[in-house]
Amino acid sequence: MKLAILSESPADEAALRVLVEGVLGHPFQFLPPAFRSRGWPSVAQVMPAVIRHLHFATDAAGLVVVVDSDDSVVHTAEHDRPEYFHPQCRLCQLRAIFRQTSKRLPPAHGREHLLRCIGVAVPAIEAWYLCGRDDSVREAAWVEGQARGTLPYTRAELKLRVYGTDRPSLPYEIDCALREVARHRPDTRRLEYDFPGFAALAADLRQWKPGN
Ligand SMILES: [Zn+2]
């Protein structure tokens, strides 16, 4: 099975390859992304074109999309109600774009549509990197902080804790990201437990059966 990854940077993409393989327990072939994006809202804007390209021009089975939540509304089980959609939640927004784009496409390459796999890192992917290393960094801590109006940490602080600087070079950022996700590669359960935005991604991945 071949997968493509759409994320906010090449460093995120390198880390996500490892995490996807960690969830599914075996290596994958990853297609080079045909479109580059840089941050939000660029990912959401290029996503329809990426889906159409992968659907018609490749034999990719699925598309993995991951963005940072930044200061947006964090997805909750409430949003999973049928026909519900929170307009300020990036997980809801990305799922809606995926659904709306896919439903207009005729079958191609022996498949009805690409498999959807979407995650949101709260508040940024560096929080996932710190999981298991810094117990104060959890999605629930961020959500509680948003409700209180006092955030437990800033995105710049998370970057500082991972990279030692909030402006790492790209090669150094990739090295650090790969070092941290290597810890989760053998077992992603802690990351799923502490970060429901990652658990959503893992649940989508596990719906895929070999032969899809
Ligand atoms: Zn949502």
What is the SS3 assignment for 85? coil
The dihedrals phi and psi of 138, each to the nearest 5 degrees, come to -145, 155
CA of 24 to the centre of ligand 1 (A): 24
- Tokens for 168? 């790492």
**pLDDT tens, position by position, 149-202:** 999 999 999 999 999 998 999 999 999 999 999 999 999 999 999 999 999 999
Length, in residues, of the chain: 212
Instruction: Name the one residue in this structure whose structure tokens are 């719906």.
Output: 207
With H, G, I as helix, E, B as strand and everything else as coil, classify residue 150.
coil
Beta-carbon neighbours within 5 Å of ion ligand 1? 75, 79, 86, 89, 91-92
Instruction: Read off the pLDDT of residues 29-68 as tens digits, 9 standing for 90 and up.
Output: 999 766 778 889 999 999 999 999 999 999 999 999 999 9
Q: Write out pLDDT tens, residues 88-144.
A: 999 999 999 999 999 999 999 988 999 999 999 999 999 999 999 999 999 999 999
Helix axes 155-163 and 170-181, enclosed angle (nearest 10) = 80
Cis peptide preceding 41, ω within 30 of 0: yes
